[in-house]
Structure 1
Amino acid sequence: MRETGELTKRHRRLLSGRSAVLGAVLCLASATMALLPAPASAAATTVAEGGHTVRISRTEYGVPHILAQDFDGLGYGYGYAFAQDNVCELADQVVTLRGERSRFFGPDGDSGTGANLASDTYYGGQLRAGTVRRLLDKKAPLGPTTELRRMVEGYAAGYNRYLRDTGVDRLPDARCKGKPWVRPITALDLWNVVYDVNRATGTVPLAPDIGDAQPPTTSAASTPTTTASGNGLVGLGLASADVGSNGWALGRDATRTGNAMVLANPHLPWADGNFRFYQVQLTIPGTLDVSGAGLYGTPLVEIGHNRTLAWTHTASDAQHGSFYALKLVPGDPTSYLLDGRAVPMERRTVPVAVRGADGRLSTVERTLYTSRFGPVLSSGWTTTTAYAIRDANADNLRSLNTWLAMGKARTLGQLRAAQDTFQGVPWTYTLAADTSGATYFTDSSAVPHLTDGQLKRCTVTAEGAPAALDGSTSACAWGSDPDALVPGLYGPSHQPKSVRTDYVANSNNGPQYVNPEAPITGLPDVYDTDPHLDGRAQLGLAMIAQRLDGTDGLGAPGFTEATLRASMLGNRVRSAETGRDDIVAMCRAHPSLTATDGTEVDVTQACTTLARWDTRADTTSRGIALWSTFYNRLLDGGPPDTWRRVPYDPAQPLTTPRGFNGDDLRVRHALADAVQEFAARDLPVDVELGAVQKWAGIPLPGCDAGCFDVVEAGPDSGTGTPTAGAFGSSFLMTVELTPDGPRAHTLLTYGESANPTSPHFSDQTRLFSRKQWVTERFTGAEIAAAPGLEVTTLRR
Structure 2
Amino acid sequence: MGEPRALTKHQRYSLSGRLAAVAAALCLTSATVALLPAPSSAATGPGGETVAAGGHTARISRTEYGIPHILARDFDGLGYGYGYAFAQDNVCELADQVVTLRGERSRFFGPDGESGEGSNLASDTYYKGQRRAGTVQRLLDRKAPLGPTAELRRMVEGYAAGYNRYLRDTDVGKLPDPRCKGKPWVRPITPLDLWSVVYDVNKVTAEVPLAPDIGDAKPPTADAGGTEAPNTPDSKGEAPSETSGATAATPIAPGAPDAQGLATADVGSNGWALGRDATRTGNAMVLTNPHLPWTVGNFRFYQVQLTIPGTLDVSGAGLYGTPLVEIGHNQNLAWTHTASDAQHASFYALKLVPGDPTSYVVDGKAERMKRRTVPVSVRDENGKLSTVDRTLYTSRFGPVLSSAWTTKTAYAIRDANADNLRSMNAWLAMGKAHNLAQLRTAQNTYQGIPWTYTLAADTSGGTYFTDSSAVPHLTDAQLGRCTLPAGEETPAALDGSTSSCAWGSDPDALVPGVYGPSHQPKLSRTDYVANSNNGPQYTNPEAPLTGLPGVYDIDPRLDQRPQLGLRMIAQRRDGTDGLGAPGFTEDTLRASMLGNRVLSAETGRDDVVDMCRAHPSLTAADGKEVDVRQACTTLARWDTRADATSRGAALWITFYAHLLGEGPPDTWHRVPYDPAQPLTTPRGINGDDMRVQRALASAVQDFAARDLPVDTELGAVQKWAGIPLPGCDVGCFDVVEAGPDSGTGTPPAGAFGTSFLMAVELTADGPRAHTLLTYGESANPASPHYADQTRLFSRKQWVTERFTQAEIAGDPALKVTTLHS
Same fold by TM-score, threshold 0.5 exceeded? Answer: yes
Residue matched to 2:176: 172
- The DSSP-based 3-state class of the residue aligned with 1:83 is helix
Task: Tell me how far apart the structure 2 counterparts of residues 659 and 369 of structure 1 sit (CA, whole Å).
Answer: 50
Alignment CA distance shift 1:510-1:743 (3 Å): same
Give the alignment partner of residue 355 of structure 1, picking from 372, 379, 385.
379
- Change in Cα spacing, 1:667 to 1:228, as seen in structure 2 (3 Å) is closer
Q: Is the 8 A contact 2:252 2:403 kept in 1?
A: no
Distance 2:491 2:629 in 1: 44
Matching residue of 2:422: 398
Are 2:56 and 2:80, in contact at CA under 8 Å, matched by a contact in 1?
no
Partner of 1:686: 711
Of 739, 743, 764, the residue aligned with 2:789 is 764
How far did 1:220 drift? 4.1
Matches within 5 A, 1:238-317: 240-317=264-341
Matched, 1:155 2:159: yes
For the residue of structure 2 that corresponds to 1:526, the secondary structure is: coil
CA contact (8 A) 1:539 1:708 kept: yes
| Identity percentage of aligned residues | 82
Give, in angstroms, the shift of residue 722 of structure 1.
4.5
Partners of 2:755 and 2:596 lie apart in 1 by: 15
2:249–2:489 contact (8 Å) kept in structure 1: no
Partner of 2:737: 712
> Equivalents in 1 of 2:365, 2:31: separation in Å?
65
Q: What TM-score do you get using the length of structure 1 for normalisation?
A: 0.93
Distance (whole Å) between structure 2 residues aligned to residue 159 and residue 221 of structure 1: 52
Q: For the residues of structure 2 that align with 1:239 and 1:489, how far apart are their CA atoms?
A: 16
Residue 214 of structure 1 aligns to which amino acid in structure 2?
A: K
> Relative to 1, partners in 2 of residues 1:324 and 1:113: Cα closer, same or farther, differing over 3 Å?
farther
Q: Structure 1 residues 113 and 765, CA, compared in 2 at 3 Å: closer, same or farther?
A: farther
The reply to whether residue 235 of structure 1 matches residue 250 of structure 2 is no
Corresponding residue number in structure 1 for 2:396: 372
SS for the counterpart of 1:579 is helix
Q: Deviations over 1:34-81 (max 9, x none)?
A: 635499xxxxxxxx9999731000000000000000000000000000
Deviates more, 1:207-216 or 1:232-241: 232-241
Corresponding letter in the other structure for 1:523: L
Q: Which runs of 4+ in 1 moved over 2 A?
A: 31-39, 48-53, 110-114, 219-240
Residue 464 of structure 2, aligned match among 404, 427, 440: 440
Q: Using the TM superposition, give the Cα deviation of residue 640 of structure 1 relative to its aligned residue in structure 2, in angstroms.
A: 1.8
Other structure's SS at 1:416 match? helix
Q: Does 1:67 align with 2:93?
A: no
Q: 1:212 aligns with which of 207, 211, 216?
A: 216
Q: For 1:117, what is the secondary structure of its paired residue?
A: helix
The match for 2:657 is 632
Show the 5 A alignment for 1:451-600: 451-461=475-485, 462-600=487-625
Distance 2:100 2:252 in 1: 17
SS of alignment partner, residue 449 of structure 2: coil
Tell me the distance in 2 between the aligned counterparts of 1:552 and 1:225. 55
Amino acid at match of 2:385: L
Query: For residues 276 and 114 of structure 1, what CA distance do their matches in structure 2 show?
Result: 26
Counterpart of 2:157, as a letter, is E
Tell me which of 408, 414, 422 is aligned to 1:384. 408
Identify the match of residue 749 of structure 1 among 768, 774, 785.
774
**Match of 1:551, as an amino acid?**
T
Residue identity in the other structure for 1:494 = H
Contact 2:346–2:494 (CA<8 Å) still a contact in 1? yes
Tell me if the contact between 1:233 and 1:466 (Cα under 8 Å) persists in the aligned partners. Answer: no
- Which of 116, 139, 143 aligns to 1:139? It is 143
Considering only aligned residues, what root-mean-square deviation do their CA atoms show, in Å?
A: 1.9
* Equivalent pair of 2:672/2:681 in contact (CA under 8 Å): yes
Does 2:368 correspond to 1:334? no
Picking from 97, 101, 107, the partner of 1:97 is: 101
What letter matches 2:274 in structure 1?
A: L
Query: Contact (CA 8 Å) 2:252, 2:490: kept in 1 or not?
Result: no
Is the 1:66–1:77 contact (alpha carbons within 8 Å) kept by the matching residues of 2?
A: yes
CA contact (8 A) 2:111 2:117 kept: no
Counterparts of 2:681 and 2:276 in 1: how far apart (Å)? 30
Compared with structure 1, are the counterparts of its residues 166 and 568 closer, same or farther at alpha carbon in structure 2 (3 Å cutoff)? same
Distance 1:350 1:490 in 2: 34
Residue 412, structure 1, aligned to residue 436, structure 2 = yes
1:565-588: per-residue Cα shift (whole Å, max 9, x none)? 000000000000000011111111
Q: What is the one-letter code of the residue matched to 1:794?
A: L
User: Within 2, Cα distance between the matches of 1:229 and 1:459?
Assistant: 17
**Rounded Cα–Cα distance in structure 1 between residues aligned with 2:151 and 2:596:** 42
Among 24, 38, 60, the alignment partner of 1:56 is 60
Counterpart Cα distance in 2 of 1:655 and 1:233: 30
Inter-partner Cα distance in structure 2 for 1:381 and 1:754: 39
Q: Which amino acid aligns with 2:304?
A: V
2:193 equivalent in structure 1: 189
1:342-363 per-position Cα deviation (integer Å, ceiling 9, x unaligned): 1111111111100001100011
Corresponding residue to 1:346 among 361, 370, 388: 370
Question: How far apart, in 2, do the equivalents of 1:515 and 1:564 lie?
Answer: 18
Q: CA deviation at 1:199?
A: 0.2
Confirm or deny that 1:644 pairs with 2:669: yes
- Return 137-146 or 667-676, whichever deviates more: 667-676
Query: Kindly tell me: are residues 238 and 742 of structure 1, through their superposed partners in 2, closer, same or farther at Cα, counting changes over 3 Å?
Result: farther
Q: How many Å apart are 1:112 and its aligned residue?
A: 10
CA–CA distance in 2 between the matches of 1:261 and 1:98? 41
CA distance in 2, matches of 1:229, 1:524: 26
8 A contact 2:129–2:392 mirrored in 1: yes
**Residue type of the partner of 2:449?**
V
CA distance in 1, matches of 2:225, 2:561: 43
Whichever residue aligns with residue 582 of structure 1, its letter is: D
Q: Distance between the aligned counterparts of 2:694 and 2:787, measured in 1?
A: 38
1:777 corresponds to 2:775? no
Letter in 2 for 1:130: G
| Per-residue CA distance 1:642-679 (angstroms, 9 max, x = gap) | 20110000000000011111122221221111111111
Question: Are 1:324 and 2:322 an aligned pair?
Answer: no
Give the TM-score of the pair, scaled to structure 2. 0.90
Residue 695 of structure 2: aligned partner = 670
Q: Which residue pairs with 2:44 in the alignment?
A: none
Query: For residue 33 of structure 2, what is the aligned residue in structure 1?
Result: 35
Alpha-carbon spacing, 1:344–1:562, altered in 2? closer, same or farther (3 Å): same
Query: Unmatched 5+ residue regions in structure 1?
Result: 1-30, 40-47
How many Å separate the matches in 1 of 2:55 and 2:185?
31
2:272 partner SS: strand
1:594 Cα offset (Å): 1.2
The alpha-carbon distance between structure 1 residues 188 and 106, as it changes in their structure 2 partners (threshold 3 A), is same
Higher relative contact order (CA 8 A, sep 6+): 1
Output the amino acid matched with 1:235: D
**Residue 525 of structure 1 aligns to a residue in which SS?**
coil
Secondary structure of the corresponding residue to residue 357 of structure 2: strand
- Which residue in 1 is equivalent to 2:8? none
Decide whether the 8 Å contact of 1:233 with 1:379 is kept in 2. Answer: no
Distance in 1 between residues matched to 2:176 and 2:698, nearest whole Å: 46
- Greater CA drift, 627-636 or 429-438: 627-636
Shift of 1:235: 2.4
One of 126, 132, 137 as aligned partner of 1:128: 132
